């Protein structure tokens, strides 16, 4: 099947200080598909996400999001592409505690220039779908509910690409499983591509493809049957 690539990394080399983190790395991710990148602390997983967000620039190679090479974009174009096409979930939900879950989600849409009753309805639908109380104070939410609210915030602008950095890292095993199950259903349900970086093999194994950071490259996890 010739799926459209929402993320395509070609010949990426990235060096920080005197450390070469990646050398000629290649990665593709289609819409409706998921990839997990598994690696120990310090292997470069967060750097890979920062590269995909355009927050840092590689020394060479290209990073295409929805067909556009972000290494060639200026700051404003990049910010626009990020707002329109990329959703991000962090390890610690990073919600604004003064706002309700609904307000946290709506804020992401407001920043992308959207507003009005249709937005309110979409926020409510998304929070209901993900099982998050809409108007409770964020400070009263459980860890799992917070992460689900953070996922709703990442999805509200209907991103082509969803990135997640240790999205279950702050949860106990039960909530880890609930949030991971929900996360890996999203590519099919919402038609986006999902890239998760994690050190947790039990989370990574839910992905269509599991890659590990090996040396300066990504390789399919031995025994996972995954291919690039
Ligand atoms: N700006 C920087 N300056 C110097 N070293 C850096 C910088 N950014 C990252 N590094 C180094 O690059 C390596 C990879 O860091 P990165 O945060 O990407 O790893 P990680 O796999 O996400 O680790 P963790 O799971 O602990 O978050 C680490 O050794 C880190 O110290």
Position 1 scores a pLDDT of: 44
Give the mutation target among 14, 18, 19, 20 for probing the ligand 1 site: most ligand atoms within 8 A of CB: 19
Domain assignment of residue 32, yes or no: yes
Residues with CB under 6 A from ligand 1: 16-17, 19, 21, 39, 41-47, 199
Instruction: For residues 203 and 12, give the distance between their C-alpha atoms in angstroms, rounded to a whole number.
Output: 26
Domain assignment of residue 225, yes or no: no
Domain assignment of residue 226, yes or no: no
The residues, any chain, with a CB within 8 Å of residue 17's CB and separated by 6 or more, are: none
Position 215 scores a pLDDT of: 80
Domain assignment of residue 171, yes or no: yes
- Interval 7-41: pLDDT, tens: 999 999 999 999 999 999 999 999 999 999 998 88
Question: Hey, whose CA ends up nearest to atom 2 of ligand 1?
Answer: 16
Domain assignment of residue 55, yes or no: yes
Is residue 225 scored above 70 in pLDDT? no
Instruction: For residues 209 and 205, give the distance between their C-alpha atoms in angstroms, rounded to a whole number.
Output: 8
C-alpha 29, offset from chain centre: 12
Give the mutation target among 14, 22, 38, 45 for probing the ligand 1 site: most ligand atoms within 8 A of CB: 45
Does the model's ipTM exceed the 0.85 cut?
yes
Is residue 220 scored above 50 in pLDDT? yes
Residue 45 Cα to ligand 1 midpoint, Å, equals 8
Closest ligand 1 atom number to CA of residue 19: 12
The residues, any chain, with a CB within 8 Å of residue 99's CB and separated by 6 or more, are: 107, 138
Instruction: For residues 140 and 1, give the distance between their C-alpha atoms in angstroms, rounded to a whole number.
Output: 45
Residue 15 Cα to ligand 1 midpoint, Å, equals 11
Domain assignment of residue 109, yes or no: yes
What is the average per-residue pLDDT within 209-221?
A: 88
Position 217 scores a pLDDT of: 85
Domain assignment of residue 15, yes or no: yes
Position 136 scores a pLDDT of: 85
Cite the DSSP H helix spans in the chain.
Answer: 45-53, 75-85, 101-111, 117-129, 143-155, 173-190, 201-204
Residue 52 Cα to ligand 1 midpoint, Å, equals 15
Position 41 scores a pLDDT of: 86
What is the average per-residue pLDDT within 133-151?
A: 90
Segments forming the whole domain that contains residue 96: 5-220
What is the average per-residue pLDDT within 65-85?
A: 94
How big, in percent rounded to 5, are the helix, strand and coil portions of the chain? 35, 25, 35
Strand order in the sheet with 217-220: 86-89, 161-165, 193-198, 34-38, 209-214, 217-220
Q: What is the reported pTM?
A: 0.91
Phi, psi dihedrals of residue 139, rounded to the nearest 5°: -70, -15
Number of domains observed in the structure of the chain: 1
Residue 47 Cα to ligand 1 midpoint, Å, equals 6
- Interval 51-63: pLDDT, tens: 999 999 999 999 9
Position 224 scores a pLDDT of: 59
- CATH number for the domain including 94? 3.40.50.300
- Interval 78-118: pLDDT, tens: 999 998 899 999 987 799 999 999 999 999 999 888 888 99
Domain assignment of residue 26, yes or no: yes
């Amino acid at each position: 099947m010739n799926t459209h690539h929402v993320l395509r990394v070609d010949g990426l080399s990235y060096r920080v200080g005197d450390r070469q983190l990646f050398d000629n790395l290649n990665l593709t991710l289609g819409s409706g598909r998921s990839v997990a990148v598994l690696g120990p602390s310090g292997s470069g997983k967060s750097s890979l996400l920062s590269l995909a967000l355009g927050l840092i620039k590689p020394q060479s190679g290209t990073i295409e999001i929805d067909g556009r090479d972000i290494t060639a974009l200026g700051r404003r174009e990049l910010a626009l592409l990020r707002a329109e096409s990329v959703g991000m979930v962090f390890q610690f939900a990073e919600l604004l505690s003064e706002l309700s879950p609904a307000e946290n989600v709506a804020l992401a849409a407001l920043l992308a220039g959207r507003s009005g009753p249709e937005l309110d309805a979409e926020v409510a639908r998304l929070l209901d779908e993900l099982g998050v109380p809409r108007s409770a104070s964020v400070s009263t939410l459980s860890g799992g509910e917070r992460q689900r609210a953070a996922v709703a915030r990442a999805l509200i602008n209907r991103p082509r690409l969803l990135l997640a950095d240790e999205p279950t890292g702050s949860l106990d095993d039960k909530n880890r499983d609930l949030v991971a199950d929900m996360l890996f259903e999203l590519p099919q349900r919402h038609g986006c591509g999902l890239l998760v970086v994690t050190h947790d093999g039990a989370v990574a194994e839910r992905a269509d493809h599991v890659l590990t950071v090996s040396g300066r490259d990504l390789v399919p996890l031995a025994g996972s049957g995954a291919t690039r």
